[in-house]
Chain A
Amino acid sequence: MADVAGADSLAALYVVHYRSLVRLAALLLDEPAACEDVVQEAYVRLAASRRMERMRDPEASLAYLRTTVLNLARSAMRRRLTATKYAPLVHPPDRVADAAIGAVERADVVVALRALPRRLREAVALRYYADLTEAQTADVMGVSVGAVKSYTSRGLERLATELKVTS
């Protein structure tokens, strides 16, 4: 029975939250093409961990997914930065035309968000896109509530400056 219940919960989480998690990943990563990979990997890890069988509260599973998405996004960013550092100086190939990705990458707020330091960016995305409370954001980021307050305040201030300059 636990397996069946777990499978149903996973399916429900998948149907309801897949898209919003991909969108959240798009705000955390600067490589939108990797967003779906990150989110799918998070679901794979959740399914593999058997947490679904132990977690009665869907919110707890969702929190696990968000944390995993954040951690995978951090790893992906580190790998990309390392690859960029040691990449040969050649022109990158043209990105495959993708209207959705292009539109996201051109959005002023996304450009401004990506200019923020990582922790500020994460705090802003989790608080104001994922709509988490300060305590939930602190849990996902693994920092204190006070730190979240500081990050979001500084993040908003810098975003406002960037967006006003742009406009």
Chain B
Amino acid sequence: MTEFDEKEIRDHLERAVAPIDPIAPPLDVLRARAVKLRRFRISAGGGLLAAAAAAVTVAVVVVPASGSSSVHIAAAPSLGSLTSYASSHGGKHVAGPELDGSHYVGAYATKQAIVVVRYASGHWHADGKPITKYGAGKYVQRLGDGGTIVPGHASFTMRYIGGDVSYFGGVIYDANGTWKPAHFGKCADHPNLSCAYAGNEQPYGHIVAGSFVSTSNSCKPSCAAGTDYLITWRWNAATKQFATDDAHIVKYKVYKVPTS
């Protein structure tokens, strides 16, 4: 028996895999895959039921039946078809497919725009609504469960480039066929403005663990040496705006959402 300490092997293994520091994709991407998988399982279950029904029908044919019925199961659009559509139009899939009322919708992002697409007659097609022109692909995220504005309607966070080096975050959402910017707390007095910008540096809104957050820097003694605070914004369905009670917000700025 060779001498080998258990602690030693733990240390060996820990050190060996320590260089692996993966960047987790947005959880919403995996949720979209989960939705697709669930639909597949449901349709596969429907297929089994249909097969069972067919077997029963055969039996009924042997012993003549008075009638028969069939159930049409509408196929949901697949994530693959949406991704493929996005790719063929120079973009990358960012959201969907998800049910928006009676239609399935999705979205893809190019370097200049977010394009919302709808599924009809077995095909994806752009829905023609105005899209923000600063929605650089990798900064676009679908607003997840933690920040949903209107259940069943598409909504996206994105950053806008403004000022000198600052990045401004905001949210647009599909309000019954029109893209609207979401309001944030004190910005409610400014129609058509959105202001996830809530601090001095690195303020752009983004999704962390399903919540919509922005960063606020105390800038004391300087912005470079200041403390970053993660500000969580929550959608208030009653007032129809995002709000936060975080005391670390030192100021608000407003910024016009550049829809085109």
Contacts and interface: CB of A to CB of B under 8 A. Distances in A.
B2 A157 contact: yes
A167 to B, nearest CB: 11
A19 B12 contact: no
A157 to B, nearest CB: 6
12 contacts: A11-B146, A14-B24, A22-B22, A26-B17, A27-B17, A36-B22, A40-B33, A110-B17, A128-B13, A129-B13, A157-B4, A160-B3
Contact of B20 (A4, A100, A109): A100
Interface string B30-41: 110111011001
Interface string A147-167: 000000000110111011000
Given A27-B13, A35-B22, A40-B30, 18 more contacts: A14-B27, A15-B24, A19-B22, A22-B22, A26-B17, A27-B16, A27-B17, A43-B30, A44-B37, A46-B34, A48-B35, A104-B17, A109-B9, A109-B12, A113-B13, A124-B9, A129-B17, A157-B4
Main secondary structure of the interface of A (DSSP, over half): helix
Nearest to A23: B17
Give the 7 A-B residue pairs with the shortest CB-CB distance, closest first: A47-B34, A160-B4, A107-B16, A160-B2, A23-B17, A48-B34, A109-B12
A109 B13 contact: yes
Interface string A99-116: 111011001111001000
A36 to B, nearest CB: 5
Contacts, number: 108
A12 B24 CA distance: 13
A125 interface: yes
Interface of A: 3-4, 7-8, 10-12, 14-15, 18-19, 22-23, 26-27, 32, 35-36, 40, 43-48, 50, 99-101, 103-104, 107-110, 113, 124-125, 128-129, 131, 156-157, 159-161, 163-164
B163 interface: no
B146 A7 contact: yes
Contact of B145 (A4, A12, A48): A4
A156 B4 contact: yes
A13 B243 CA distance: 26
Interface in B115-165: 144-146
Contacts of A8: 146, 210
B189 interface: no
A162 to B, nearest CB: 10
B20 A26 contact: yes
B13 A125 contact: yes
A99 B19 contact: yes
B14 interface: yes
A135 to B, nearest CB: 17
Q: Which of B15, B18, B209 has the most CB of A within 10 A?
A: B209
Given A11-B146, A100-B20, A161-B2, A44 B13 contact: no
Contact of B37 (A4, A45, A108): A45
B233 to A, nearest CB: 16
A70 to B, nearest CB: 16
Nearest to B41: A48
A55 to B, nearest CB: 15
A128 B35 CA distance: 35
